Amino acid sequence: MAPAEVLELTTYTRIPDGEVTPGSASWRGHVARLFAAVLLVRSMNNVEPAPTLAGLVASALALGPEATAAAVRYLAWCRLHEPGAWHGDEEARPFLTLGLWLVYGASPDKDAAVESTLRRAFTSELPPPPATPKSIAGAEGRRAWRSLVNDHLPTDEDHNVRAWFA
């Protein structure tokens, strides 16, 4: 098995339920998935970057403020430079913006203007039909992103975003 395959399998691993405290099985699972996803998001070999990014975002959010702050910096860099498989992939790019928006929204020092800019950037990047989250991220990726959107976006806003994942 190639190293990239091991990393991919790690990003799809189900994390044990339970409290995410240092040393717990859930914490170790999220750290492993976050590490694998960080490497794959930047990789040229990542055929489907959107579902991999969903694991990165979910684990950063589960691990708390320190991981979320690091994820904001990393994803902002990725969004600016579009490394690896993201480069030139206009259908997958909205997921990179959405990932940044979600982790930024969980950061303690968030600014409403920046959040608003990320929201507008995401909605302006959405590909036209027939592209759907399922066609871009696959069925499992779509489920992961839908869960992230439902759990981490304000319920009174962003109906268009939620509708895209319905």
Maximum CA pair distance of the chain? 46
- The SS3 of residue 75 is helix
**What's the token pair of residue 127?**
């590909």
CA–CA distance, 23 with 41 (Å, rounded to integer): 25
Residue 88 above 80 pLDDT? no
Task: Give yes or no for residue 2 having a pLDDT over 90.
Answer: no
Q: Rounded distance, CA 38 to CA 71, Å?
A: 9
pLDDT band at residue 47 under the 50/70/90 scheme: low
Q: 129-132, long-range: CB within 8 Å, 24+ apart, which pairs?
A: 131/91, 132/164
Our CA angle for 127, 128, 132, nearest 5°, is: 70
Asked if 104 and 114 touch (Cβ cutoff 8 Å), the reply is yes
DSSP 24: S
Confidence of residue 108 (pLDDT cuts 50, 70, 90): confident
Predicted pLDDT of residue 46: 65
Q: Is the pTM of this model over 0.75?
A: yes
- Percentage with pLDDT > 90 across the chain: 42
Cβ neighbours of residue 36 under 8 Å, at least 6 residues apart? 6, 7, 8, 10, 11, 55
Which one is predicted more confidently, 97 or 17? 97
> Is the dihedral angle over the CA atoms 128, 164, 162, 109 positive or is it negative?
negative
Residue 166 has pLDDT above 90, yes or no: no
pLDDT band at 106; cut points 50, 70, 90: very high
